[in-house]
């Protein structure tokens, strides 16, 4: 088969590799129908995730058809159409029993495209297939379901739920890429009074408006803190959601939040950020962060199927899977190209 292989920081190639094989009786082999590229993949290519070693097939999001199942797989059969989750779950360890699948102690967690070969390939081995895949509902397109592999549950759990978004809240979303736009989409489920999107690219701020942001602010050469304070009687926002993964965006969120408010960090950070405890402690600010657990995927599947969440606008660019190197270039230059999510179809 062919796959997108990480060759070390700054290097990748689309090339012929051996087909995956079942390695445990709980595995399944899935033929990929559609996959996509994540901001985390760009972090890996920058060298921000050193545990990803050269030779690894990247990717952790896919929809496809089951081709083989191990003898221990109980709920899947050859021919089933499934969503492959970005987080794998053994289902039996302490953390899986708590619904914290991202912290799985039994060999799961975020492993696809990270610690084992991933989904940017024609075929992928999915460990713990019973608890790491979801049937694709009838009447919903593969592209929509693909957004439930990572970005929507990540924004919903790590941003909106961890940030304790409540009806009537004022929210700042720093970063209007795919995760930031997902946070806007999911926050709207809780009827906030106002959502403010902050970014450095006008194209992404235009997208934020389309996704439901009430206010946008380009922070290239201006003071986002002063802007937010002008909208909040000088207090700051109830919830500040960090959706970039660089020190400046996290530190901005801690400056935007009101006393007693929440900072929810979603972004994947490759460098240290300064935590200003000298000013935050007295303001009763709560800071949360984390890897998605995907416990919300069944709920989000219902919301997408019932059209209460519209996942279709995320897919802005389409490529054949063989053109994945070009897709990476378009996605990496999203501020210029307007790419939100690129969809790669086999």
Would you kindly state where each structural domain of the chain is located, as residue ranges? 2-150+294-345, 153-289
CATH number for the domain formed by residue range(s) 2-150+294-345: 3.90.180.10
- Output the pLDDT for position 343: 98
Going by C-beta distance under 8 Å and a sequence separation of 6 or more, which residues neighbour residue 27?
69, 70, 73, 125, 126, 127, 128, 129
What the block records as the tokens of 54 is 């050269």
Closest CA relative to residue 120, chosen from 292, 320, 267: 320
- Output the pLDDT for position 342: 98
* pLDDT level of residue 221 (50, 70, 90 thresholds): confident
Q: What is the pLDDT of residues 260-305, one digit of tens each?
A: 999 999 999 989 999 999 999 999 999 999 999 999 999 999 999 9
The answer on pLDDT for 125 being more than 90 is yes
Closest CA relative to residue 39, chosen from 246, 319, 346: 246
Of 2.60.120.10, 3.40.50.720, 3.40.50.300, 3.40.50.12780, which CATH number belongs to 153-289? 3.40.50.720
- Output the pLDDT for position 319: 98
Distance set, CA 106 to CA 94, 97, 110, 127, 241 (Å): 9, 11, 12, 11, 31
295, 101 Cβ separation under 8 angstroms: yes
Q: How many alpha carbons lie under 13 Å from residue 244 in its C-beta half-sphere?
A: 22
* pLDDT level of residue 9 (50, 70, 90 thresholds): very high
Closest CA relative to residue 341, chosen from 195, 205, 178, 153: 178
pTM of the entire predicted model: 0.95
Residue found under tokens 């696809």: 112
What is the secondary structure of 98-146 as a DSSP string?
A: TT-GGG-SSS-BS-BTTTB--SSBSEEEESSHHHHEEEPPTT--HHHHH
- Output the pLDDT for position 272: 95
- Output the pLDDT for position 222: 82
55, 66 Cβ separation under 8 angstroms: no
The answer on pLDDT for 213 being more than 90 is yes
> Average pLDDT of the chain?
97
């Amino acid at each position: 088969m062919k796959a997108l292989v990480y060759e070390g920081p700054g290097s990748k190639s689309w090339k012929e590799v051996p087909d995956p094989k079942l390695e445990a009786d709980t595995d399944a082999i899935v033929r990929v129908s559609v996959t996509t590229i994540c901001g985390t993949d760009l972090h890996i290519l920058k060298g921000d995730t050193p545990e990803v070693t050269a030779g690894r097939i990247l990717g952790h999001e896919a929809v496809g058809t089951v081709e083989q199942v191990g003898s221990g797989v109980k709920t899947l059969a050859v021919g089933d159409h499934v969503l492959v989750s970005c987080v794998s779950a053994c289902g039996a360890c302490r953390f899986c029993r708590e619904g914290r699948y991202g912290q799985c102690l039994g060999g799961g967690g975020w492993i696809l495209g990270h610690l084992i070969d991933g989904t940017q390939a024609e075929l992928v081995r999915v460990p713990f297939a019973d608890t790491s895949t979801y049937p694709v509902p009838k009447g919903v397109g593969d592209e929509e379901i693909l957004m439930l592999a990572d970005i929507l549950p990540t924004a919903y759990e790590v941003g909106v739920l961890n940030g304790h978004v409540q009806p009537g809240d004022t929210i700042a979303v720093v970063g209007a890429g795919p995760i930031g736009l997902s946070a806007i989409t999911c926050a709207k489920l809780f009827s906030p009074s106002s959502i403010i999107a902050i970014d450095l690219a006008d194209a992404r701020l235009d997208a934020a408006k389309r996704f439901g942001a009430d206010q946008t602010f380009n922070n290239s050469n201006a003071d986002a803190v002063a802007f937010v304070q002008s909208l909040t009687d000088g207090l700051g926002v109830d919830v500040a959601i960090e959706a970039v993964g660089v020190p400046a965006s996290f530190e901005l969120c801690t400056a935007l939040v009101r006393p007693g408010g929440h900072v929810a960090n979603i972004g994947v950070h490759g460098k240290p950020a300064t935590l200003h405890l000298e000013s935050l402690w007295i303001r009763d600010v709560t800071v949360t962060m984390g890897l998605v657990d995907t416990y919300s995927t069944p709920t989000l599947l219902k919301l997408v199927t019932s059209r209460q969440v519209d996942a279709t606008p995320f897919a802005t660019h389409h490529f054949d899977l063989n053109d994945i190197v070009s897709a990476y270039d378009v996605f990496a230059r999203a501020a210029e190209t307007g790419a939100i999510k690129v969809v790669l179809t086999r």
